[in-house]
Amino acid sequence: MASNPDPAPTLVEARWVIPADPPRAVLPHHAVVIAGGRIREVLPARQARERYRGARRIELTGHALIPGLINLHTHAAMTLMRGLADDRTLMDWLQNHIWPVELERVSPKFVYDGTLLACAEMLRGGVTCFNDMYFFPEAAARAALAAGMRAALGMIVIEFRSPYAADAGDYLSKGLATRDALKHEPLLSFCFAPHAPFTVSDATFERLATYAGELDVPVHIHLHETEDEIRESIAAHQLRPVRRLQKLGLLGLRLIAVHAVHLAGDEIALLSEHGCHVAHCPSSNLKLASGIADVARLVEGGVNTGLGTDGAASNNRLDVFAEMRLAALLGKGASGRATALPAHTVLAMATINAARALGIDGRVGSLTAGKCADMAAVNLDAPELSPCYDPLSHLVYAAGREHVSHVWVNGELLVEEGRLTRLDPSEIAARAAYWKEKIKS
């Protein structure tokens, strides 16, 4: 269980508080009051000091205080395969390199150690929550809880055998058992995670749609990632993948479509009509040459869009600051409009939009009274960030994860002056070195 933060109020005072909702708000010289793991108030710093005399104060005189970033799509344990098989096509990468290693090496210990490594990286980059899709989700849950992070755990479903499960029914039953065992953990939530249309059968999709509808759990799936995926779907099913999912009843079930690179205009309208979400992963899309998603059209078409890194094996960083900047620049370049995807929209994609996709926007995603105190402080005083005319713009176009100084999850300070407070980096690095030798052998 996550530790219970001290109920005595703490004032976190910042040069700027940027709540992300409303989207353009920038509050100079404000404070966020934390008590019992939640945000009690957001108010001018001077007023906060008068109201909460004697409270602990954290003064961040050159910082922007923002909601904790949310990584809407990753495979956290694959951090142990960072750089293993670069510069290959998607199917070559999967079939000839990644899947064979997984068959040989993936275990609960592999997933725990890899996820812990990912948590350390993400926390230091201001990420407080991640949406995971991988084997042995109970091991990923244990790692996230050990790190103090918030996680949405994918109940993965795929047709072929792995070290985790024998067949689709086995995946489903094990995923549901994990959810039943952990559903009362306040830092955890769950998604059904069918891997992709080309690895899941119609019968499994129909069964999954029934469960998702009954349990009101999001469905998290790779969708329209490559042109090959679409050609193969037409050949096998006489339908493009998104139309196949519509036929099988998946679109109305809080679907999170990962990548969504190759969408026609009517398909964007279809996703919007059904209230679907998109996890945009620009770095992975470029590295695997999948293409450039038309995110400006998605956003303008009313599709709630968040940002993900994908796994470190195909990125190779779990760096949401890098994804924000790249998403904004690609959106402008692809649309031919410098006004497309402005900074406030992209920050929302990394915070409140991602929370909305996961169904946890009532708890996190913005600096709002009553929500959990998941926050990150970004030091904008560094020489490479000077001068700062617009802190919101700086967060997207100039700052990086190296400027994150403090991170809180549920009111607990997990990164202080850039240092992890719970996790031991040397121990985590030793675990990574152990797995590198196992994989190389």
Please give the model's pTM, rounded to 2 decimal places: 0.97
Model confidence at 3, pLDDT cuts 50, 70, 90, reads: very low
Residue 282: phi, psi to the nearest 5? Answer: -65, -40
Name the 3-class secondary structure at 269: helix
Task: Round the average pLDDT of the chain to a whole number and report it.
Answer: 96
pLDDT in tens, 377-401: 999 999 999 999 999 999 999 999 9
pLDDT of residue 252: 86
CA distance 290 to 307: 16
Instruction: Among 3.20.20.140, 3.40.50.920, 1.10.357.10, 3.40.50.720, name the CATH number for the domain at 69-358.
Output: 3.20.20.140
Closest residue by Cα to residue 312 from 111, 82, 61: 82
pLDDT in tens, 229-244: 999 999 999 999 999 9
Model confidence at 441, pLDDT cuts 50, 70, 90, reads: confident
Closest residue by Cα to residue 129 from 89, 186, 86: 186
Residue 75: phi, psi to the nearest 5? Answer: -120, 85
Domain boundaries of the chain, sorted by first residue:
10-67+370-420, 69-358
Cis omega (within 30 of 0) on the bond before 316? yes
What fold, for 10-67+370-420? Urease, subunit C; domain 1 (2.30.40)
Query: 3-state secondary structure string, 327-386?
Result: HHHHHHHHHCCCCCCCHHHHHHHCCHHHHHHHCCCCCCCCCCCCCECCEEEEECCCHHHC
Q: Are strands 219-223 and 255-259 parallel, antiparallel or unpaired?
A: parallel
pLDDT in tens, 144-154: 999 999 999 99
